[in-house]
Structure 1
Amino acid sequence: MLGNVEMRSVSPVFVGRADELAVLHDALSRAAAGEPQALLLGGEAGVGKTRLVEEFATAACRESTVVALGGCVEIGADGLPFAPFSTALRSLRRQLPDEVTAAADGQEAELARLLPELGEAPRRLDGRHDEEGTARLFELTARLLERVAADRTVVVVLEDLHWADASTRHLLAYLFRTLRRGRLVVVATYRADDIHRRHPLRPLLAELDRLRTVRRVELGRFNRAEVARQLAGILAAEPDPTEVDEIFERSDGNAFFVEELAVAAQEGCRTGLSDSLRDLLLVRVEKLPEDAQRVARIVAEGGSTVEYGLLAAVARLPEDDLIEALRVAVGANILLAVPDGDGYRFRHSLVREAVSDDLLPGERSRLNRRYAEALEADPTLVPADGRATRLASYWYHAHDAAKALPAVLHASVEARGRHAHSEQLRLLERAMELWDAAPDAVRDGLRPVDYAEVYPPCGCAPETTPLRYLDLLAEAAVAGRLCGERERALKITKRALHLLGEDGDPLRAAWFWVQRSLLVQGLARGDGWKELGTAQKLVRGLPPSEVHAEVLAMAAGWSMLHEPGPEALSDAQRAVEYARMVGAEDIELNVRLTLGTLMVDAGDTEAGLAEMYAVKEQVEKRSLATLVGRSHVNLPSILEGVGRSREAVTVLREGLEFTRKMGLSESEAWVWRNLSESLFSLGEWHEAAEAAANAMRRQSARPCGGGAQQLADIERARGAVADAARLLADARAFYGTHDPQPQNDLPLATLTIGVAAAEGRLLDARDELRQALDSGFPPGTQRFAWPLLLAAVIAEADARGLPVADEGRAEVLSGVFETVKKLTTGAPVWVAYEKWVRAELHRAEGVLEPGTWSEVVTAFESLERPYDLARVRHRLAEALLVSGADEEGRDRATELLRLAAAVADHLGARPLADSVALLAQRARLTLARAPEPSAPAPSDPVEALGLTSRERDVLRLVAVGRSNRQIAEELFISPKTASVHVSNILAKLGVSGRGEAAALAHRLRLFPPGAGERLPVGGSG
């Protein structure tokens, strides 16, 4: 009876697709060579995407490639968060257990959000949401895949992207944008005919199309010859040409419909078929026995895959009858057993959709209720990572608000714990929809402590307090902000504030105004101060609370970036005090970083740095991800601001290790940006350029702006003015105009002045200076103000004598002079800059006084800033020569120019090198050292400098940038002894700092390439 029904409809012969397979195999070859590949495979339903992937995977496995498949899971039109990634990672772990374990080492808890088998994901117990949690999870996932694919080729296939949840789409986009290394191929498939104009996958496809690293493969339908070959494979015989013509015409070349029509024709149903191909799919199901049809309908409503135990509980058939029904459905190629599990799915989703659409409304609700009841009775029927979402979906589609509301809320908590904030937001919006429909007794039984992570206004909620609608709004506002749905989140905060009204809870209202401030800034609609000001007014005069502390902390942080000063310092101090009173340790640590910064800005440098170092130590011990990132960004920034660049580099190197290990991609980008700035100050320009480029490779706009700004600085100093101008424009675009901050705007203004002056646009440089002077320099901005003033007066001094420069110069110089009198110095580096600016002011007026420039040189000789020192040495030499120096003075000028030339050559600072050479030529000075005629030159250039064996080893390490501590560790001596050796070397070389010593060593080629690697120990101390 079942003979015809059990006929195989899948062709054993793989037909066509040569071009598409060639693209896939080319990607595999490129990946095997270490170039990760990303492909999008699209095509209409039934066109053969899965079959193509299976063919490719089979061929890849024959080449010892590891293939991991994961599919997006649909449950009643809901996607399961991260389902394809979880399935693929589970497959990788099963095939490569040791490799995955090693790749996840140290981050098992975070990665457990995607792969629970790695451990238990951490849950925050302090009521504070994780601002960088999603980005951290994405970064760790990308790096995990790169590490697993480091020594072997790995193919990850993610199927049915048209069903993907938003979090899966975001993770896929992140992965495609950031894959940089590893023998990895990622293939994602989607159903092209389902991607209508408003489908959520459409924007992602458009975004990925713009990436040069992503290839799109569109799978077309079969032509008539290919249909004939497919039919021959299905029928195991050459088909009749008339039959081929008819099936080709009816299927229009769709591979799946060719199969279905072939089976129908073999069963003798050709003349009785409906014109609708969808009806054709139902005809095949309706030919099954009644029990098999019933099981098919149950499976269709259960999701894309249904576990056997759950199916048995819902079907309520005797086990023998159920197995027989399944055997018939599988034999008819309607259902398939899941290869890696104990469940069943439809062989093709088109059939499942047809069966599901054919269900009656009451029938659908009843099946969802039975699924929900079965799952509640035995939660072990489905995997743990999908249980909450599936239960929520079943109850929701069963139209039972009393059961659905708590299930949906529980699913939202699970989604939040996995950083699937898009799904969390969708579930919370569903909970809001169910809120009024649920009975009062159900709502009163819900507790904030179970379902809410943010608890305005007091940081915690008594267990006796019922969950309120405003709690849902608070959760949804944060979820919307964290997943990038800022418009939706803004509407939610507006709704919450409307419900609170004028007489509502001021603390809760203040909390929502803080959220609005963050959202306004995120949407580039302002700087957020108006909203923060409203929050401050609401909490003023109220007893200490967590919200009060957070509002003060936010205000202090905003002021630190925009308007630093006494008021910001006061806000930070009160925020620390309030946070301590209410036990909000995270807020306290965060605002203490702000407080330390403001203390340094106010002149209390050592105390401020001590505060920041103390916070850094605490957050490292506790592995507080967000604060670890901020401490390794803000602290070195302040160190650089007071001229302690070498110390800043040490902290930044640590920061790279921490941020990489913890997956803090945005913080890592800021660390790279700040590292570039400090390396530039230290004269390590090649490494500075690499660090800036690394900052620009990240996804966040502002770190990219910082990286572009740093590269522009380097290119300007090297004389590549056109490149500097282009990078300056890039930096401005990255920063935007909606949220001006001195730390961004002033360096950009300095660059603008420098580029304009280099291009001969003095009037444009003056306009930029005038705008900066009009805006003023609040406390804490001196680190940006001094370079800006210096660039302006250098431009004026260099343009002296040009007709365009005379008019207006006096006004410009007067404005700078008045600003200099008011600007804070404090740190030695800014004392040096003050002397330099004053000397340039004199030069702009035609006065070159050797005594003045000698003071500037002396000020910079105590600092490790070789480029700046070389520039002021050049000016001192010029002053000596212009003043009519005697022979001794000319000798001194020659030595100064020789040292400046060595640094300029080493750094590639062409404008400085040209200026030094031109001055030497005009003064008829010879910069090359003449050999001593009285004695033959030593064959060893190091010996010629009078260095001992140990000093030779120390200089070799200085030349590659080692610190005293690193030198001591490498040579097994004490840091104090290393310091003494360095001092002796500087004296013998006649240089003032380590940077000059390194430059001289490179210039004289004292050590062969690679000589800076680990040295043999020994020799005298």
Structure 2
Amino acid sequence: MNGLLIGRSAELRKLLRVLEIAGDGTAGVALLGGDAGIGKTRLVSELVAQARERGFNVLIGQCAELGDALPYLPLADALRGAGPALRAAIAERPVLEQLLPGGEIAPSTGLTQQRLFGSLLGLLGAVQPVLFVIEDLHWADRSTRDLLVFLSRMLQTERVCLVGTYRTDDLHRRHPLRSVLAELKRLPSVTSVEVGPMATEEISDYVATFGEMDGRELREIVHRADGNPFYAEELYAALSEGETFPDGLASLLMSRVELLSEPGQRVLRAAAVAGRRVEDMLLREVSALPLADFEEAVREIVSRGLMRVDGYGYAFRHALLQETVYTDLLPGERTRLHAAFAALLTSPAELAHHHLAGHDLAGALRASAEAGREAERLGAPAEAHRHYDQALSLWERVPDAAELARESRGDLAFRSAIMAADSGDNHRAVAQLRVLPPMSPVYERLSYYLAELGQDEAAVQAGDAAIETATTPAQLARALATTARSLAWTERHAEVAPLARRALEVARSAGVADAEISALIVLAMLSELEGDFTAAAARYEQAASHSSGDLAMDLRAQFARARLLYEQGELTRAAAATEPGIRTAEEAGLKWSTYGTDLRFLRFLIHYVAGEWDAAERLATTFGARVGTVPEAILSSFALFIEVGRGLPAAESRLDWLRPFWTSELATYMSRGMAAEDALWKGDPATAWEHIQACLAKLIPADPGNLRICATGLWALAELGRTDEADDLRRRARTAVAGPDGNRGPMGLEGRAWALRVEAEWSRVNGHHDVPLWQSVVDAFDYGFVYETARSRWRLAEAQLATGDRDAAQTTWTLARDAATALKATPLLSALDEFGRRARFTTPTAAGSLTARELEVLSLVAEGLTNREIAERLFIAQKTVSVHVSNILAKLDASTRTQAAATARSRHLIPDA
């Protein structure tokens, strides 16, 4: 009613604080709750105005009571209203563009919801800063709620402010938004803003801005409004129109509606059936008034402030008004109006809603089935499942149901089960599949979901049934591949290889690419377990070279190929192998999917192991520290490798965020293992030992993860001067090497190196200086693991000095120090310098003083390039190259370019030729 914002300064300050922090580069979320009419929209309007003044791109989407029927309605609404910069970015993301009017829904290639979420995250990151507002979350569909949770967790360093509003008085005990709000409000990145009734003085000041009134009228409005500004506005409007004050807001609203002419009331009642908003053409058709009468009626409604012009139609000034008018309709009147809208609409989801409300069961079944298929293509599995289930619930009450749905009941129920699983409800999917007719596709999916739930025996039984009931080669191929996967970790594992080979043969013959890839991955895994890494690599290569049309399967194959190369020490090839998968994941919006994330983890590890720590640190900054779930905690833990290794202050803050997730096995292993190393570098072996014990309590003795933990534990025991637990750690590590049955087979290069490190650390705890053993550790890590090679050389140098070989110790120490300097591994470098001072070693001048540009020039000198060729390669002057070469020769104490190259290689400043 007026442009002033009165009495909400505290709430606005909280919202602006989130906006300011987002503008500075730390994404934030604000959840704005309050009763209907309390002033949430007015606050948001002020926030939007200030955001635009600060240069923010603004997206505003509104949920509606049809939210459960229309997936991603507020997102589609926000994208429709996007400005030019956002529009251009949306056009580059087809998954988002299909939400716009006229957008074509592309055929699914799997993981559609994750692609949509990832694409939106990419959009928000591309057009920063952004204010994204989602209004009326109490009406949000399941997929929108999932999107809200995803963005709240994944937005980290983006300049994005996400705001959601909701009605507190609508949140009954079982409302689906309640659990979402409870989950999100635990996140430190989320600010909760509760908007309560205005104080008497504030509501008085607010009402006084409306217009002329005497003191008695002002006091009456303030008293009746009870701090609710919308109620106050309606009371003043009634007063201005000469009305008395009926009891209750609903009566007051209807008293204003009743002042309309009969055509005006007729149009308003039709608009209420449409929802909060309605298009002009639809409203005109349903109202069935002559054009002139319709326009006069709408003009009257708008002039009284009951509705406002909104784009190509009209919107109720407040949702409460629409709800009140709708509730006041007679049952028959409501049914007829719903049927009238259904006759004009084309959206399956809206049709389903209006047909059902209009008691047209046949129309509702037909529209629900089609709405389910559309939601499935859009990547809204929860809504698809809901629509399919609604169609199934009407099946027995509608003649010719299969013809109306355009598929059999069994097929529709099968699709419903798949969508239940895709929305995360495997239990619901299993329950639905178990009552379907016995068909191979049903059993195959049942086997897959049971295996996901850890019910291996039931999964194998379903897999056997899938094979027995297969009627086509395609069905048989998928049944065989899924059953082989289900059998892998059961007592029938001897059957896995024959089944997988048969699956591969049938899949290739029938041209079923997804089954072929699945079978190849299973066979490759078996080859790994048998120690035949050449065969495993070949099969992973075959799997990754295929495109199945199923993005999840394709990314799984890409990851498996790159992982094996990494574990075999083929770091350059492994790095190259991650690139296609990472690129596919980013282009498809699947950067945060399971395998999209795993591929980025792997790329980080390759950088870390290969000594490319600047690149590793850049990647680590994308692994958000503000975590709210176990998967996020595991992701965040990877960053600790570089943060602890370099002694960065961020490690301490990250560990604080991770502490609540130390009940998870993997999160404990990842983060507490690194917390132990951090404590050791800081001279606190007692705390390190506590972390080690906690890790060991989570790991089964045969888990290979024990090796690194046991090695770190022995380091802690050596610092504590305790030998009593050392034997237990070595015994546990040896069990991990042997495997649960003593027949694990050969380990990868890194695993073998850690096993040797355990033996060497055990020797050190017991006071031995075993030079050959520490040399074997160095040699084992020297396949390319720069940091661990340097750490092992530290201990080798200590052993060499203790056994009297001072020259060898000096050389080993120098190599370790050069590597630590190049890595900027401050804790290790400090330890090496302390050891060097005690040993009175001569500090080298080479590695520590070579600049990044000098290292670039040095690598090209080692390739045999002339100064002119180096200048052309680096786009610098030949004279500048000459200066760099002179500096390099001086720093390396070398007289020739060849000698400089040889010295650099011996100190691992550049790769070997």
TM-score range, shorter chain: 0.7 to 0.9
User: Alpha-carbon deviation of 1:278?
Assistant: 1.2
- The residue correspondences of 1:808-819 to structure 2 (distance < 5 A) are none
| Aligned pair partner of 1:675 in 565, 585, 603 | 603
Which of these residues, 642, 645, 649, is aligned with residue 575 of structure 2? 649
Contact 1:813/1:841 (8 A) holds in 2: no
- Contact 1:986–1:997 (8 Å) recurs in 2: no
Does 2:843 correspond to 1:928?
yes
Pairing of 1:840-859 with structure 2 (within 5 A): 857=778
* In 2, Cα distance between equivalents of 1:949 and 1:725: 34
Asked if the contact 1:704/1:734 (under 8 Å) is kept, the reply is no
**C-alpha separation in 2, matches of 1:735 and 1:991:** 45
Say yes or no: does 1:330 pair with 2:302. yes
CA drift of 1:867 comes to: 3.2
Cα 1:719–1:318 change in 2 (3 A) is closer
Amino acid at match of 1:148: V
Matching of residue 364 in structure 1 with residue 322 in structure 2: no
Correspondence 1:860-875 to 2 at 5 A: 861=782, 863-874=783-794
Verify the 8 A CA contact 2:395 2:401 in the aligned structure 1: no
Q: Which runs of 5+ in 1 are unaligned?
A: 1-9, 380-386, 449-466, 521-526, 932-937, 959-965, 973-982, 1001-1020
The one-character-per-residue Cα deviations of 1:938-976 (angstroms, maximum 9, x if unpaired) are 9x9889xxx999645457999xxxxxxx9998699xxxx
For 1:86, the equivalent position in structure 2 comes to 76
* C-alpha separation in 2, matches of 1:948 and 1:803: 44
Residue of structure 2 equivalent to 1:207:
183
When normalised by structure 2's length, the TM-score is 0.82
367, 371, 395: which is aligned to 1:435? Answer: 395
CA separation of 1:610 and 1:541: change in aligned 2, threshold 3 A: same
The answer for the alignment partner of 1:349 in structure 2 is 319
Deviation at 1:410, TM superposition (A): 0.7
Distance 1:318 1:549, change over 3 A: same
Matched to 1:396, the amino acid is L
Cα 1:230–1:531 change in 2 (3 A) is same
Whole-Å separation in 2 of the counterparts to 1:625 and 1:580: 19
Partner secondary structure for residue 189 of structure 1? strand
Deviation per residue, 1:81-114 (Å, 9 max, x gap):
222221221111xx31xx2354236432x11243
CA deviation profile, 1:1000-1019 (whole Å, cap 9, x unmatched): 9xxxxxxxxxxxxxxxxxxx
Deviations 1:467-506 (A, max 9, x none): 12x333322222223223x2xx524532541454xxx345
2:733, 2:758 within 8 Å by CA — same for their partners in 1? no
Unpaired stretches in structure 2, ≥5 consecutive residues: 877-896
C-alpha separation in 2, matches of 1:296 and 1:851: 90
Alpha-carbon distance, 1:700 to partner: 9.1
> Match for 1:475: what amino acid?
R
Asked whether 1:634 is paired with 2:606, we answer no
Q: Any conservation in 2 of the 1:416–1:424 contact (CA below 8 Å)? A: yes
Among 120, 131, 139, the residue aligned to 2:104: 120
Aligned pair in 2 of structure 1 residues 707, 728: CA closer, same or farther (>3 Å)? farther
The corresponding residue for 2:406 is 447
| Structure 2 CA distance for partners of 1:731 and 1:540, relative to 1, 3 Å | farther
The alpha-carbon deviation at position 392 of structure 1 amounts to: 0.8
* Aligned ranges 1:532-543 → 2 under 5 Å: 532-541=459-468, 543=470
Alignment correspondent of 1:453: none
Percent of aligned pairs sharing the same letter: 29
1:431-830 aligned within 5 A: 431-439=391-399, 441-448=400-407, 467-468=408-409, 470-484=410-424, 486=425, 490-491=427-428, 493-498=430-435, 500=437, 504-505=438-439, 507-518=441-452, 520=453, 527-541=454-468, 543=470, 545-557=473-485, 567-619=495-547, 625-652=551-578, 655-664=581-590, 665-666=592-593, 667-685=595-613, 687-688=615-616, 691-692=619-620, 694-695=622-623, 703-704=631-632, 706-707=634-635, 710=638, 733=661, 736=664, 759=686, 775=702, 804=724, 824-825=745-746
2:117 aligned with 1:138: yes
How far is the alpha carbon of 1:728 from its aligned partner?
Answer: 12
- TM-aligned CA distance change 1:491 to 1:710, over 3 Å: closer
Contact 1:169 1:204 in 2 (8 A): yes
Contact 1:954 1:967 in 2 (8 A): no
- Write the distance in 1 (CA, Å) between the matches of 2:659 and 2:545: 33
| Counterpart position of 1:100 | 86
**Corresponding residue of 2:228:** 254
CA contact (8 A) 1:705 1:732 kept: no
Q: CA deviation digits over 1:759-789, x for unaligned, max 9?
A: 49999979988998964x7xxx6xx676578
| Conservation of the 8 A alpha-carbon contact between 1:709 and 1:728 | no
The alpha carbon displacement at 1:405 in A equals 0.5
3-state SS of the aligned residue for 1:157? strand
Q: Tell me, yes or no, if structure 1 residue 306 matches structure 2 residue 278.
A: yes
User: 413, 420, 433: which one pairs with 2:380?
Assistant: 420
Deviations 1:511-530 (A, max 9, x none): 32433433x2xxxxxx3423
Q: In structure 2, what is the Cα distance between the partners aligned to 1:445 and 1:835?
A: 69
CA contact (8 A) 2:546 2:554 kept: no
RMSD: 4.9
One-letter identity of the residue aligned with 2:268? A
Listed one character per residue, the Cα deviations across residues 293-345 of structure 1 (whole Å, up to 9, x for unaligned) are 2222111112222222222222222222222222222233233322x11x223
Question: In the superposition, relative to structure 1, how do residues 838 and 598 fare at CA in structure 2: closer, same or farther (>3 Å)?
Answer: same
Separation in structure 2 between the aligned mates of residue 482 and residue 773 of structure 1, nearest angstrom: 31
Tell me: CA distance 1:990–1:859, structure 2 relative to 1, closer, same or farther (3 Å): farther
- Counterpart residue type for residue 160 of structure 1: D
* C-alpha contact 1:545 1:582 (8 A) present in aligned 2: yes
CA contact (8 A) 1:149 1:184 kept: yes
Alpha-carbon contact 2:517-2:557 (below 8 Å) kept: no
Q: 1:317: which partner in 2?
A: 289
CA drift of 1:643 comes to 1.5
Contact 2:440 2:479 survives alignment (8 Å): no
Structure 2 counterpart of 1:408, from 365, 368, 371: 368
**1:676 match: secondary structure:** helix
Alignment of 1:891-906 (within 5 A): 891-904=807-820, 906=822
Match of 1:399 in 2: 359
The one-letter code matched in structure 2 to 1:45 is: A
CA contact (8 A) 1:297 1:355 kept: yes
> In 2, distance between residues paired with 1:105 and 1:853?
58
CA distance in 2, matches of 1:851, 1:492: 58
What CA distance in whole angstroms lies between the structure 2 residues aligned with 1:162 and 1:244? 33
Q: CA deviation at 1:18?
A: 3.9
* Corresponding position of 1:50: 41
8 A Cα contact 1:507 1:548, kept in partner: no
How far does residue 60 in structure 1 lie from its aligned partner after superposition?
A: 5.2
Does the 8 Å contact 2:436/2:442 carry over to 1? Answer: no
Distance 1:813 1:12, change over 3 A: closer
Question: Which residue number corresponds to residue 266 of structure 2?
Answer: 294
The answer as to whether partners of 2:433 and 2:442 remain within 8 angstroms in 1 is no
Residues in 2 aligned to 1:414 and 1:60: alpha-carbon distance in whole angstroms: 35
Shift of the alpha carbon at 1:674? 2.1
What is the TM-score when the length of structure 1 is the normalising length?
Answer: 0.74
Amino acid at match of 1:988: A
Go from structure 1 to structure 2 and tell me whether the alpha carbon gap of 1:948 and 1:394 turns closer, same or farther (over 3 Å shift): closer
CA contact 1:866–1:903 (8 Å) conserved in 2? yes
Q: Please name the residue that 1:1004 is paired with.
A: none
Give the Å deviation of 1:560.
6.7
When structure 1 is superposed on structure 2, of 294-303 and 913-922 the one drifting more is 913-922
The amino acid of 1:580's aligned partner reads R
* Partner residue, 1:221: 197
CA contact (8 A) 2:529 2:744 kept: no
- Shift in CA distance, 353/877, structure 1 to aligned 2, threshold 3 Å: closer
Does the CA-based 8 Å contact 1:669-1:703 persist in structure 2? Answer: no
